[in-house]
A and B are shown apart, each in its own frame.
Chain A
Amino acid sequence: MKTKMDFPSINERKPEGVKEDGSPYKVLVVDDSMFVTKQISQILTSEGFEVVATASDGLQGLERYKELYPDIDVVTMDITMPKMDGVTSLEKIIEFDKEAKVIMISALGKQDLVKKALLIGAKNYIVKPLDRVKVLERIIQSIK
């Protein structure tokens, strides 16, 4: 299309959510809030990541991870959720795949649980409210 040639692209930067081979990093979002799931998905999708699945509790998150494995690159994991909390779900995911890259999403005031999650093997954590810069920075750090 001619228009594309007329305007120089100012956006030559490769999106951070895309691997060297051009395929997107695949993400599983585990959160019981529809709002947070949507927020994380929008931020990641806008940077080239692909949200391949979502889960609304820790148990479902664990099941999805096992189904997707090894075709999954990173997990965002809420802490307070019904059925199985995020820290237990993390523990079981790490038992299943010790290389799993899981990033905890926490409300303020959950330092003890965040600390526990990091000791178990979470790669990083993000404290809510979430913003684009914070989410991308923490997730990119954990996959690079």
Chain B
Amino acid sequence: MRVEYINPFVEAAFNVLKEVLNTEVKRGELYLKSTSQPVMGVAALVGLAGNVEGRVLFDMSFDTALAVASDMNGEKLEKLDDLAKATITELANMITAQAVTKLHELGFTFDLTPPAIFTGENMEVTDSEVEALIVPMVLPQGKIEINVAVRERL
């Protein structure tokens, strides 16, 4: 997978997280996975379809999701209820919108699906036909991994 697909998502995640959480964000080392990989507990998935296709996953632990949603709402949320999920969805929406604007400027055209939120223990994601690039973002609330598996349409 070409690195140029993931960079806009990483930049957008960095900007949006910093702005909505008003905190320091540290970018971890990029790594590549071509086999099945574990998902941490809460994952927001956005699909892309156009002259590039694939999916972006915003992956975090349950505790991180709750801490992030709590901070975005300005109140302590006790469980991952509808409001907390709507908050993580909106976070994924904002990051994706910013990244897509950049990708469109670079000449890639595609449509997006609305984010879907997956929650659960021991989940794995497998992208059998395209490898995934992952960039961890480290926040005081925990780690969010930006996991992008996108390719040019064949």
Contacts and interface: CB of A to CB of B under 8 A. Distances in A.
Interface in B63-100: 72-74, 82-83, 86-87, 89-90, 93-94, 97-98, 100
Contacts of A128: 90, 93-94, 97
A33 B87 CA distance: 8
Contacts of B72: 35
Given A35-B89, A128-B94, A129-B20, A109 B100 contact: yes
Main secondary structure on A side of the interface with B:
loop
A131 B16 CA distance: 12
Contacts of B93: 33, 107, 128
B153 interface: no
A23 interface: no
Interface residues of B, number: 19
B101 interface: yes
Interface string B11-39: 00000100110000000000000000000
Contact of A107 (B74, B87, B94): B94
B86 A129 contact: no
B87 A35 contact: yes
15 contacts: A33-B89, A34-B86, A35-B86, A35-B87, A35-B89, A38-B73, A107-B94, A107-B97, A109-B98, A109-B104, A128-B93, A128-B94, A128-B97, A129-B20, A129-B94
Interface of A: 33-36, 38-39, 42, 107-110, 128-129, 131
Given A33-B89, A35-B89, A109-B98, 13 more contacts: A34-B83, A35-B72, A35-B73, A35-B83, A35-B87, A35-B90, A36-B90, A107-B93, A107-B97, A108-B94, A109-B101, A129-B16, A129-B19
For the complex of A and B, list the 7 residue pairs with the smallest distance between their C-beta atoms, beginning with the closest.
A109-B101, A107-B97, A34-B86, A35-B86, A35-B87, A108-B97, A35-B90
